[in-house]
Amino acid sequence: MKIIILGAAAGGGFPQWNCACGNCARARCGDPAAKPRTQAALAVSVNDSDYVIFNASPDLRGQILATPALQPRSGLRDSPIAAAVLTGGDVDFTAGLLNLREGHRFGLYAGRRIFDLLGDSQIFRVLDAGLVPRRELPVDVPTRLANGVGQDLGITVEAFVVPGKVALYAEDVSRADFGSSEGDTIGLRIADDHGRAFFYIPSCARVSEDVARRVRSAALVLFDGTLWHDNEMIEAGLMPKTGARMGHISVSGPEGSIAAFAGLDVARKVFVHVNNSNPMILDDTPERAEAERAGWIVAHDGMEIVL
């Protein structure tokens, strides 16, 4: 199973278009320790011919241009993209679907809650349901993925609920939980027919007992690395929100992901969805060194993993 990191950054990418923080300034001036990154997404294949993309970031068109494996191979209109799977309804994970509107057939998978959000937005009607069938992902049930005409792709996914919150544009600020419901954020176990499997959890507010149980002894986990600490955005003067308010666990600290994964015996641990403000995004910071000492890899665009 071949895994391509199409994008490794959180919303806005790195450098973010309107951010002049120190991290983004280093990326803009070409500092080799500040590798630019697009917004988080994966491509996975078991045959190097048919690919499933996991989340469709706003940067998807550029990610396809940067990834030969996803480019046309024969005929006037062609794409190896056979299916797309969504783990949340945020713009970061869905806006790229609009890049796939030119009459290409592929299967689209998401939970009911996520499809409801897409259905409320008329703009997503540009994806003709006759060409792009919507297939609901049940929770805790292994689901075989198929292309737009129902041909099996050799990949099984199992969706599970993870702590999170409703997409920003759908928040109800009059409610303490902002209108969040179970299924707003899901994680995925992604497996092939030979028993090879990994977990993709790009957004998560807490490593719950259930999440810990699922990922224990996994061969590979790609996990939410948005912020180094909860007050990061506030202290940097970038946004008056904590990580918890945004629905993201911190990397550091006693309640952070490094601590939570310390005893879970995961063979390979990779941070994805890393925010531009996170010092871990730079190759030469103490925070990066700390993450690496704990056995983590910080993903970058174009990174490939083979299971």
Give the list of residues 6+ apart from residue 14 with CB closer than 8 angstroms, or none.
23, 24, 27, 34, 35, 36, 37, 274, 276, 281
Give the list of residues 6+ apart from residue 77 with CB closer than 8 angstroms, or none.
102, 103, 104
Q: What pLDDT score was predicted for residue 247?
A: 77
Q: What pLDDT score was predicted for residue 221?
A: 98
Q: What pLDDT score was predicted for residue 242?
A: 80
Within 13 Å of residue 33, how many CA atoms lie on the same side as its CB?
13
Helix then strand then coil, in percent of the chain rounded to 5, is: 25, 25, 50
DSSP 250: B
Give the whole-angstrom CA distance, residue 253 versus residue 259.
7
pTM here is 0.95
Give the whole-angstrom CA distance, residue 32 versus residue 148.
41
Q: What pLDDT score was predicted for residue 239?
A: 81
Q: Which of 131, 37, 141 has the alpha carbon at shortest distance from 84?
A: 131
Give the whole-angstrom CA distance, residue 303 versus residue 99.
22
Give the list of residues 6+ apart from residue 276 with CB closer than 8 angstroms, or none.
9, 10, 12, 13, 14, 15, 16, 19, 21, 23, 24
Question: CA torsion sign, 199 to 23 to 70 to 129?
Answer: positive
Q: What pLDDT score was predicted for residue 275?
A: 96
pLDDT one-digit tens code per residue, 254-287: 999 999 999 999 999 999 999 999 999 999 999 9
Question: CA torsion sign, 266 to 267 to 271 to 272?
Answer: negative
Give the whole-angstrom CA distance, residue 125 versus residue 221.
33
Q: What pLDDT score was predicted for residue 170?
A: 59
pLDDT one-digit tens code per residue, 3-27: 999 999 999 999 999 999 999 999 9
DSSP 285: S
What averages of pLDDT result for each successive group of 10 residues across the chain (307 residues)? 98 96 97 98 97 98 98 91 96 94 94 90 91 96 97 98 75 58 86 97 95 98 96 86 82 97 97 97 98 98 98
Give the whole-angstrom CA distance, residue 256 versus residue 271.
13
